Structure 1
Amino acid sequence: MAYANTEYQTHFLNLAYTPGKAISMKIAAEVAQSVRKGDSFGSYPADTLFKDFRVSYSQDLSELNRPTAFFYSNNTQTQPVAPRELQAVAGCGSSPVVSYEGTGAYFLDKLEEGVWRLEVMPDAVQVSDPFAKPSLKKEVVAVISRAWDMKLSVPDLSERFSAQALNAGNTRSFTATNGTLSNLTPGVYLLVRKDTKPSDDWTAEKRWKNIKLGEFVAPAEKKCDSYRMVNDTPKIYEAGKELTLKVQLAGWEQPDSLIVYTDQISFWNEHNPYKKMTRKQGAIYEVTVPAAEMKEGVFRYNIVAFNKGKRQTFPGGMEGTPLDWDYIGDQYWETRVVNPSAEISLVAPSVSSQWNGVEQYTVPQEGGACFLRKYIRDEVAGRESKLQQVQYLCVQLKGKVNGVEAGFITSDGFTYKAKGNTSQEGILRLPLSALQQTATTLLPHAYPVFLDKQFKPTTNIPFEVQQIESLEVSHLTENLVLEKAWIE
């Protein structure tokens, strides 16, 4: 059921479906065994680097780096502290030890000098929100067995070694070239350095630690001819600047091509311009839209996957292309293109808070405090030039309210706010220079209930508008209605 995450909706942890989180859990187990009760590593953010460990929110990364072990949950450029002493590597993505385009987890364990066990899990691609309303009919992560090259930079293996598959049903036997295993598929492999004669008989049935050497478990393959596509293109962008369209494609094989069509094409046109996407890494494809085409308004487009005579159009995944005479799809991906000098809209007017993305919380303090919060990174990600010029945060509430606090939570988890009174029209205009670092209220409330309800920083870090991630508006007693918010 992990493919649909139909269990408890605050959790989603599985080696096959959430490989990065699983590696992080493996690292957390090492933390639990090596950190003693009462150990102190300073105050946040200094304590994100402690003993052999490192945690980074911005890089979505946790690391263990000690002489005999190197674990990482995402791409990292960290060098292992003692490459020649390594006994175990576990990771996702690429590192100075493993270069890999797949998205599944992998494990590399030393059995003896020049002999290693390599286990590679299938790719995992998140295709929908795992914390939305669950259904066994809705796939949230696609697990796909794909073949990718893997380059190993392990001194004990050198650059030339053999690889023999050990898991059931996998009979492949091949040799690495310059440390690279070509077209490596998920499974378990015995790696033996050239001119090395193992001192033990490392067969699939041999017991090693608490498993058999060839033991391999992965979700059953659900092959299908269709693709799933995840779009990582900014939803808001500035006119007159090149826009990079970026998508991740989940499928059992690479397509023949990915073609981008705008909403200006038609079956009846003699000429219909298009753009061909290029594979950048793994299943990531990109193409650049010239600055001259990025004009104020809405840039709408489809992406069509072509493969072996079949055509599938996204979003929606409909069969066919927008140029077919009988194509009935009416869905487009959209990027709103704005004037570079225009204000940055954070909350747009809406008939309901359910449509503007604002979450409301009540904190049981004296009288009950009201907090309104919205994740705004998508609103500012494509406005880099304007973000460097803004000076004021403006919020519009329903009615006149005195003593309103408003500000931002940054990607580091720090909160910066200022207090003021709204005008008769309900508008509060705060200079960004007036925002002060304050406690961050933990919302939703932590459980168990005896846990702290606030994070109170002890390190003073200056406010940087480029780091804003969430908007927050609060009041000690009033129930607030946020109608609009922007920075100018």
Structure 2
Amino acid sequence: MKHPLIHYTFILASLLVTWLSTPSVAQKKSNTVYVDEQGVMRWGDSKKEVHGFGVNYTAPFAHAYRAAKTLNVDLEKAIDADVYHFARLGFDAYRVHVWDTEISDSLGNLLEGNEHLRLFDYMLMKMKARGMKLLITPIAYWNNGYPEPDGNTPGFAAKYGKADCLTNEGAIRAQENYLYQFLNHVNPYTKVAYKDDEDLVAFEISNEPHHDGTPASVTTFINRMVKAMRKTGCKKPIFYNISHSIQLADAYFKSDIQGGTFQWYPTGLGSQHEIQGNFLPNVDHYVIPFANAPGFKKIAKVVYEFDAADVGRSYIYPAMARSFREAGIQWATHFAYDPTFMAYANTEYNTHYMNLVYAPQKALSLKIASEVFHTVPLYKSYGRYPANAAFDGFRVSYEQDLAEVITDKKFFHTNTTTSPVPHPETLEEIAGAGNSNLVRYEGLGAYFLDRLEKGVWRLEILPDAIWVSNVFGKNSLKKEVAVLNTRAWPMAVTLPDLGSDFSVTALNDNNTYTTKASNNTFTILPGTYLLKERNSTASRKGDEKWKNIVLKEFSAPAAVLDKTYVLHTPPSEVKEAKALNVEASVVSASEPEAVELIVFGVGRPQTYAMKRDKGYRYVATIPGDQLNVGFLRYYITVKEKDAVHTYPSGLTGLPLQWDFYDDNAYQVPVVSNTNDLYLFNAITDARDVMRQWSKTSGLMPNGKPGDGEFVVNVEHLLNSDPENKNGEKIYDYSFRYTFARKIAARKDELPLRKKLIVKGRALNDRPCTLQVALVMNDGTAYGATVTLDPNATEATLNLNQLHPVKLVTLPRPYPSFLPYYFESSKQSPLNLSAVEALQFSIGPSIPATELDRKHGVAIESVRLE
């Protein structure tokens, strides 16, 4: 397959390259960051609070570096492109744990002239030119393999490993030597040593050290590292990770550090698929157990890594930023931004996915989070969810998969929104995806509008991004999980100072597209454009600097879609005699000649035209008289260039032709109106259960052909947290399944049901008490307990007997000291129309004398009657 990701359209005139790549060498010595007595980082000259928001980005190192070589990518150009996108997203902070193993030898000597180090220096120079500030972690302790096998690297980390690096005298001396040389290293592009770079605000000694020694030995180790760094003359704040092994918190506070670092993965890591449900309860509050410790109050706080891993939606990051500020965090950097050249495959960290081109709505959410971080005062609280879903012009909505900010000057949104914009005449920046009251756009890329002066705006539009596979799964550079497409789409821009018939002029190099607005509407391709009110005499060539970009800048991989994708997931089941709306995304280089639905229902096969609704979405309705109890089978056909392909297989030809050999149609069970409504079936749904990993839990056969049960057998209910040995003792093991998608076609039946029936059995030859709860889309849970016997049985709960119960934050967050239960700002009444998940808990109502015993259940199904 010809891959489009090697060719970039990022082109600048040589003069502009010089401007963007040459930072000022003369630096203000008075601007060194310091930490005041209240534990707040401040700028040396202005005394103002330091606060930065941005990303981790690893292009010069490890897998990303090797992927660039495999794909024959020029890494300098790739870095240029991504740093430009950082500017568009409003990032002003960068952090990375440097792969010391690639740039040092076993004695800790820095390998000057090393290609990884040179690229790192080049990247820092480019970030500085865009106004970004830097926080560097010189020691990673990682080898460079992940997700591939480790390579042979010369560094001390490869020789000793993380555990020995914390205790072995030879390893400690190597680190002292390395830190001294690293801070003294002079960036050849800026001619300034790291220790003296005014844009490098602080250092974090090492990445996630995981100490397990005595408090005194830990303090001594940290002080040796600090001493080696201070010996260079460096006066910048030095941070240390204090969110691991928190029983050693006092040892951290007694050391010579000026700050502590944290991370936040509120939805766990490594699910291998997109997880479903409302995760705003998971990010409601960043609770630090030792927040009131006197030593903690004197040090600055930063978050070096965060992400809502395996969440593909766009609503969550601004809520995380709000919680960070409430906790006193001054710096937060997402982990990790995918280099664009390899984002089509998401191989670097498949549990994360962040890129402006390939994940535009998520990236826009991060842009809004940056606005939150720079707007919300330190330690400001807005209460608990759902009361804090709207605050100071910001709003997050799980139901709409939407984050937005509306102020007098800025309007950013991640998805289609109907929110009114009170003062469009004062706006200076717009960024979005989908539609709003001001911009309507059918494409699937992000767009940006920047007001240059009255009646003159800069428009930037990125290509359509479509996820065609599981982006969080087992990935490979040989596999596309996301594709780009360049299609001309209608756009309507309604801004008071532009009028309705404005001009549209291409700015970016090699863009020859011409168009003009009529009644606010025009057809547009990806690129950068100048929009001018028809009477404006303003002149722009495109070479002009605008804030930290150049007007004509544009960066995106060449979008060459070489096949058509039909993206459609049939409903799990539908009701008889009820018309079924079928929706599919038909992703093609140009609009197909025809899209049809061929249905094998009652009588002869029926063909229905699928009409384009908007963008790539096509819809058709199967009449109710075609839906009898049984299995409905159908195909989707796409006609392009006089050829017809039939999906899901994509074979050439039509299903009614004699030699069409694919029998793998879309298939949907059609059930009687009197059928029970199954919320969970182990054999089909076990993969999507959110739980703490345990080798004794998972899907198991139950002796019936084609059937199974979800087994959970817990040796110890007490949650023993190795990172928080002195934490609260909670006796509970909970797991949750979100069924909203499963029952979407039958959701209207929920309010009609009266009983919840659990089919399962207890393990260990004795009964087990199990709490079963229905969880609503606002995080409110209603449940009750049932007792399962060792023999398979059905336990029934009347829905009117359910009462409020605690919601467990699942998947379990990291760091693991974060709250086990979510406490809502209000207790919503049970609304069956809003329920979307089942929560199972072993622990509630079990007598204290039984808590230390082994407990287990095997769940076959849960249904409503």
Matched, 1:403 2:769: yes
Q: Is the 8 A contact 1:227 1:250 kept in 2?
A: yes
Q: Is structure 2 residue 307 aligned with structure 1 residue 307?
A: no
SS in 2 for 1:159: coil
1:412 pairs with one of 765, 769, 778: 778
1:474 Cα deviation after fit: 1.8
Answer whether contact 1:62 1:74 (CA < 8 A) is retained. Answer: yes
Matched, 1:442 2:442: no
Partner of 2:531: 191
Q: Distance in 1 between matches of 2:833 and 2:730?
A: 35
**One-letter identity of the residue aligned with 2:639:** F
Whether 2:669 is the aligned partner of 1:332: answer: no
Does the 8 Å CA contact 1:372/1:480 hold for their aligned counterparts?
A: no
5+ residue gaps in structure 2?
Answer: 1-341, 695-716, 720-728, 844-853
How far apart, CA to CA, are the structure 2 residues paired with 1:388 and 1:6? 43
Shift of residue 393 of structure 1? Answer: 1.1
Which of 15, 19, 27 is equivalent to 2:356?
A: 15
Where does residue 826 of structure 2 map in the other structure?
459
Q: For the Cα contact (< 8 Å) 1:234–1:382, is it kept in 2?
A: yes
Q: Structure 1 residue aligned with 2:651, among 310, 318, 329?
A: 318
Superposed counterparts of 1:27-106, under 5 Å: 27-106=368-447
TM-fit CA distance, 1:232: 4.9
Larger radius of gyration: 2
Secondary structure of the 1:480 match is strand
Quick one: distance in 2 between partners of 1:118 and 1:263? 47
Is 1:393 aligned to 2:756, yes or no?
yes
> Residue 279 in 1 paired to residue 620 in 2?
no
State the SS of the aligned residue for 2:374.
helix
Which residue number in structure 1 is paired with residue 5 of structure 2?
Answer: none
1:149 aligns with 2:490: yes
Letter matched to residue 750 of structure 2: L
What amino acid maps onto 2:519 in structure 1? N
**Secondary structure of the residue that 1:403 maps to in structure 2?**
strand
Return the offset for 1:325: 2.9
What is the alpha-carbon distance in structure 2 between the residues aligned to residue 172 and residue 349 of structure 1? 54
Aligned equivalent of 2:583, options 241, 246, 249: 246
Aligned-pair distance for 1:458?
3.5
CA distance in 2, matches of 1:462, 1:70: 34
TM superposition shift of 1:353: 7.1
- Structure with bigger strand share is 1
* Residue 19 of structure 1: how far off its partner (Å): 0.7
Q: Quick check: 1:370–1:478 contact (8 Å CA) kept in 2?
A: no
TM-score, with normalisation over the residues of structure 1? 0.93
Q: What is the aligned counterpart of 1:131 among 461, 472, 488? A: 472
Q: Give the match for residue 177 of structure 1.
A: 518
Counterpart-to-counterpart distance in 1, 2:678 and 2:647: 27
**Over residues 54-84 of structure 1, what are the superposed CA-to-partner deviations in whole Å (9 max), with x where a residue is unaligned?**
0000100000000111100000001112111
1:316-361 deviation digits (Å, cap 9, x = unpaired): 22232223333221211122211122110122363x9756x44543
Post-superposition shift, 1:96? Answer: 0.2
CA 1:156–1:306: 2 relative to 1, 3 Å? same
Instruction: Determine the C-alpha separation between the residues in 2 that align with 1:305 and 1:59.
Output: 30
Q: Judging by fraction of residues, say which structure has more helix.
A: 2
Would the aligned equivalents of 1:67 and 1:85 in 2 still touch at CA under 8 Å?
A: yes
**2:606 aligned counterpart, secondary structure:** coil
Deviation at 1:447, TM superposition (A): 0.8
Of 373-382 and 283-292, more deviation after overlay is shown by 373-382
Structure 1 counterpart SS, 2:784: strand
Q: TM-score, normalised by structure 2?
A: 0.53
Q: Deviations over 1:103-141 (max 9, x none)?
A: 110000000111100001111122221112112233222
- Which residue identity does 1:377 align to in structure 2? A
CA distance, structure 2, for counterparts of residue 25 and residue 349 of structure 1: 36
Amino acid at match of 2:743: V
What is the one-letter code of the residue matched to 2:631?
Answer: V
Q: 2:77 — aligned with what?
A: none
**Matched residues in 2 for 1:368 and 1:43: separation?**
25
**Aligned equivalents of 2:347, 2:643: Cα separation in 1:** 32
Residue in 2 that maps onto 1:220: 558
CA distance in 1, matches of 2:659, 2:449: 52
For 2:555, give the aligned amino acid. V
The farther-off stretch of 185-194 and 166-175 is 166-175
Q: Distance in 2 between matches of 1:401 and 1:146?
A: 61
- Measured in 1, the distance between the counterparts of 2:439 and 2:825 equals 38
1:258 and 1:303 in contact (8 A); partners too: yes
Structure 1 residue aligned with 2:863: 486
Residue in 2 aligned with 1:472? 839
Q: Deviations over 1:446-479 (max 9, x none)?
A: 1112222221224111111111222122212522
How far the C-alpha of 1:233 sits from its partner, in A, is: 4.7
Q: Which residue of 2 aligns with 1:207?
A: 545
Tell me the distance in 1 between the aligned counterparts of 2:544 and 2:822. Answer: 50
Q: 1:138 to 1:330 in 2, by over 3 A?
A: farther
The one-letter code of the counterpart of 1:452 is: P
Q: Judge conservation of contact 2:773–2:805 (CA < 8 Å) in 1.
A: no
Judged with a 3 Å threshold, the aligned counterparts in structure 2 of structure 1 residues 250 and 303 are, in CA distance, closer, same or farther, namely same
Report runs of 4+ in structure 1 exceeding 6 Å deviation. Answer: none
- Distance in 2 between the 1:330 and 1:213 partners? 53
Higher mean displacement: 473-482 or 204-213: 473-482
Matched, 1:296 2:629: yes
Instruction: Please say if residues 166 and 188 of structure 1, whose CA atoms lie closer than 8 Å, have aligned partners that are also in contact.
Output: yes
Distance across 1 between alignment mates of 2:513 and 2:606: 45
Residue of 726, 741, 746 corresponding to 1:378: 741
Query: What 5-or-longer segments of structure 1 have no aligned partner?
Result: none
Q: CA deviation digits over 1:8-54, x for unaligned, max 9? A: 12211111111111111100000000001121212211100000100
What is the CA RMSD across the aligned residues, in angstroms?
Answer: 2.1
Cα distance in 1 between the residues matched to 2:358 and 2:685: 32
Note the alpha carbon deviations across 1:368-423, whole angstroms, 9 max, x for none. 63323222112321113422210111111223634210012222222222112236
User: Residue 175 of structure 1: CA displacement?
Assistant: 1.9
CA pair 396-116 structure 1, distance change in 2 beyond 3 A: same
